[in-house]
Amino acid sequence: MQADISVGNGVLGGVEPCVVVVGVGLIGGSIAAALRAADPRVTVIGIGRNVARMQAAQERGLITGWANSVSAAAVPPGSLGVVCLPVDRIVGAVRELLAAGCGAVTDAGSTKDEICRELLAERLFVGAHPIAGSEHAGFEHADAGLFRGRVCVICKGGAASTVVARVERFWQSLGLSLQWLSAAEHDRILALTSHLPHVLAAVAAGVVADEQLVFAGSGFRDTTRIAAGSADLWTSILLGNADACIESIRRAEQLLGEFRGALERRDAAALRALWAASAERRRKL
Residue number with CB closer to its own copies (99 or 268)? 268
Query: Which member of 42, 115, 153, 163 binds its own copies (CB under 8 A)?
Result: 153
Residue 260 CB, nearest approach to its own copies (Å): 4
Q: Is residue 140 involved in binding its own copies (CB under 8 A)?
A: no
Residue 257 CB, nearest approach to its own copies (Å): 7
Residue number with CB closer to its own copies (15 or 249)? 249
Q: Is residue 274 involved in binding its own copies (CB under 8 A)?
A: yes
Residue 29 CB, nearest approach to its own copies (Å): 17
Q: Is residue 223 involved in binding its own copies (CB under 8 A)?
A: yes
Give yes or no for a contact between 75 and 224, defined as CB atoms under 8 angstroms apart: no
The size of the interface with its own copies (CB under 8 A), counted in residues, is: 84
Q: Is residue 197 involved in binding its own copies (CB under 8 A)?
A: yes
Q: Give me the count of residues in the chain.
A: 285
Q: How far apart are CA 102 and CA 91, in angstroms?
A: 15
Q: How far apart are CA 177 and CA 179, in angstroms?
A: 7
Q: Is residue 272 involved in binding its own copies (CB under 8 A)?
A: yes
Q: Is residue 193 involved in binding its own copies (CB under 8 A)?
A: yes
Q: Is residue 282 involved in binding its own copies (CB under 8 A)?
A: yes
Query: Which member of 40, 59, 161, 210 binds its own copies (CB under 8 A)?
Result: 210
Residue 230 CB, nearest approach to its own copies (Å): 8
3-state secondary structure of 47: strand
Beta bridge partners of 179: 153
Write out the H or E segment, with its range, that includes residue 212. Answer: none
Per CB under 8 A, which of residues 114..133 are in contact with its own copies?
Answer: 131-133
Residue 115 CB, nearest approach to its own copies (Å): 17
Binding mask 238-257 for its own copies (x = CB under 8 A): xx--x--xx-xxxxxx-xxx
Q: Which of the stretches 7-15, 16-24, 160-168, 202-210 binds its own copies when contact is defined by CB under 8 A?
A: 202-210
Q: Is residue 229 involved in binding its own copies (CB under 8 A)?
A: yes
Q: Is residue 215 involved in binding its own copies (CB under 8 A)?
A: yes
Compute CA distances 232 → 67, 86, 135, 203, 208, whole Å.
Answer: 24, 8, 13, 17, 22
Write out the H or E segment, with its range, that includes residue 133. Answer: none
- In sequence order, the 6+-apart residues with CB closer than 8 A to the CB of 60 are 139, 142
Residue number with CB closer to its own copies (57 or 196)? 196
3-state secondary structure of 45: strand
Q: Which of 129-164 are b and which e, b meaning 16 or more Cβ less than 10 Å from the residue's Cβ?
A: bbbbbeeebebeebebebbeebebbbbbbebeeebb
The strand pair at 65-67 and 43-47 is best described as parallel
Residue number with CB closer to its own copies (56 or 151)? 151
Give yes or no for a contact between 38 and 15, defined as CB atoms under 8 angstroms apart: yes
Residue number with CB closer to its own copies (61 or 257)? 257
Residue number with CB closer to its own copies (19 or 191)? 191
Per CB under 8 A, which of residues 17..76 are in contact with its own copies?
Answer: none
Longest Cα separation, the chain: 72
